[in-house]
């Protein structure tokens, strides 16, 4: 299980954890999904850049590192230009554990 610090609160994120995903710049609609390992094609796509470390990976943003988790969505999701997606990477700041 991994933890990330968001808005001053520690949030547990782990395999099979059911999450709310808040709408954001990439996925405009709120949705729900489950944290999982990324599929092999997603791992291979970024292995030379910012590789997946289990269920998450880090990408260097302009101001700080950005943590992403792989989420399998309950319902297919559209992003701002494509879709529908059954699963995909989501920035940690938009993931909230369902209690």
Q: What tens digit of pLDDT does each residue of 35-78 get?
A: 999 999 999 999 888 899 888 999 999 999 999 999 999 999 99
For residue 33, pLDDT beyond 70: yes
pLDDT value at position 9?
38
Domain of 84?
2-97
Whole-angstrom distance, CA of residue 55 vs CA of residue 78: 22
pLDDT value at position 83?
87
- Residue 33's CB is within 10 A of a number of other CB atoms, namely 23
Number of domains in the chain: 1
Which tokens hold the place of 89?
């990477």
Which tokens hold the place of 63?
């101001």
Q: Residue 17: which CATH number?
A: 2.30.30
Pairing of strands 18-21, 9-13: unpaired
Mean pLDDT of 11-25: 76
For residue 16, pLDDT beyond 80: no
Look-up of token digits 């260097």: 60
pLDDT value at position 99?
64
């Amino acid at each position: 299980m991994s933890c990330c610090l968001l808005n001053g609160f520690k949030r547990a994120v782990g395999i099979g954890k059911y999450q709310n995903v808040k709408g954001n710049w990439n996925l405009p609609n709120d949705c729900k999904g489950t944290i999982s390992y990324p599929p092999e094609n997603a791992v291979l796509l970024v292995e030379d850049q910012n590789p997946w470390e289990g269920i998450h990976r880090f990408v260097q943003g302009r101001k700080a590192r950005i943590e992403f988790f792989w989420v399998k969505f309950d319902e297919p999701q559209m992003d701002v230009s494509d879709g529908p997606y059954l699963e995909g990477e989501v920035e940690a700041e938009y993931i909230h554990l369902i209690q």
